[in-house]
Amino acid sequence: MTDTAHAPLVGLVMGSRSDWETMQHAAARLEAMGVPHEVRVVSAHRTPDVLFDYAASAAGRGLRAIIAGAGGAAHLPGMLAAKTAVPVLGVPVQSKALNGMDSLLSIVQMPAGVPVATFAIGQAGAANAALFAAAMLAPEYPAVRDALDAFRIRQTEDVADNDDPRK
Ligand code: RP5
C-alpha cells in the first residue's frame, strides 16, 4: 500500500538504502496483508536529528508499530525505542564483515526498560517482523486479520501439497 492510500499504521525504516534488499521483504509482506505503511531511510549515525523527529512524531501520526532494519553497529531500533513508546520491531541486516551477528547483538541486547522486539538476521527476520506487525493490528482491523489467516492457511496447504521433497 502506498504512503497516500491510507494513513500509515506501520513505519518501515532502515539505516541505509543498502538495507532495502533485505527490508523489501518486510514491505512485500505488509503490502500482501494490506497493512498501510510508509518506507523511509532513517540513519542513527548519519541523520540522528531525522531519527529523533521520526520517533517523536510516530505516535501522533498514528503509527502502531515501527519496523526498523539496520546492520553493523545497529543503533537505529534501540534509539527509536528510546524516543517513542510505539513498539519497535528490530531487524538485524546481514553485514558483510560479521554476517549480521554484530547487527543481531546490537539490536537484541537492550538494557531493561527500553524494549526492542528482535527478529532473525536478514530476509526471514524482515518477513517475520511484517507478519508480527500484521498480527498486532489484526484484532482491530478485520481485513488484516483475514489476510493473515488466509496466508497461514495457504502456507500450511503448500507444505501438505508438496510433501514429497523428491518431486
Ligand atoms: C547501517 O550501516 C545501515 O543500516 C547499513 O546496514 C550499514 C551500512 O550502510 P551503508 O554503508 O551501506 O550505507 O547504518
Please report the DSSP string for 101-142 in residue order: HHHHHHHH-PPTTS--EE--SSHHHHHHHHHHHHHHHTTT-H
Looking at per-residue pLDDT, the higher value among 72 and 5 belongs to 72
Distance separating alpha carbons of residues 101 and 95, to the nearest angstrom: 8
Chain segment 112-123, per-residue pLDDT in tens: 999 999 999 999
- Give residue for cell 519496523: 67
Q: What is the CATH number of the domain that holds 99?
A: 3.40.50.1970
Is residue 118, in this structure, part of any structural domain at all?
Answer: yes
The residue nearest atom 3 of ligand 1, judged by CA position, is: 15
Give residue 85's pLDDT.
Answer: 98
Find how far residue 75's CA is from the centre of its chain: 15
Chain segment 95-152, per-residue pLDDT in tens: 999 999 999 999 999 999 999 999 999 999 999 999 999 999 999 999 999 999 999 9
How wide is the angle at C-alpha 55 spanned by C-alphas 134 and 72, nearest 5°?
Answer: 80
Tell me the chain's radius of gyration from C-alpha atoms: 16
Which atom of ligand 1 is closest in space to residue 45's alpha carbon? 14
What range does the domain containing 136 cover? Answer: 10-158
Count the alpha carbons within 13 Å of 63 in the hemisphere toward its beta carbon: 26
Give residue 5's pLDDT.
Answer: 64
Chain segment 22-45, per-residue pLDDT in tens: 999 999 999 999 999 999 999 999
Residue 18 Cβ contacting ligand 1 at under 6 Å: yes
Instruction: Name the residue of 12, 13, 19, 121 to mutate for ligand 1: max ligand atoms within 8 A of Cβ.
Output: 19
Chain segment 70-101, per-residue pLDDT in tens: 999 999 999 999 999 999 999 999 999 999 99
| In the chain, beta strands by DSSP E | 10-14, 37-41, 65-71, 88-93, 117-118
Give residue 144's pLDDT.
Answer: 98
Complex ipTM value:
0.97
Assign 3-state DSSP to the chain and report helix, strand, coil percentages, each to 5: 45, 15, 40
Q: Which of 66, 74, 18 is nearest to 38 (CA)?
A: 66
- Evaluate if residue 2 carries a pLDDT over 50: no
Give residue 70's pLDDT.
Answer: 98
| Average confidence (pLDDT) over 47-62 | 98
> Residue 104 contacts by C-beta under 8 Å, 6 or more apart in sequence?
92, 118, 121
Number of domains in the chain: 1
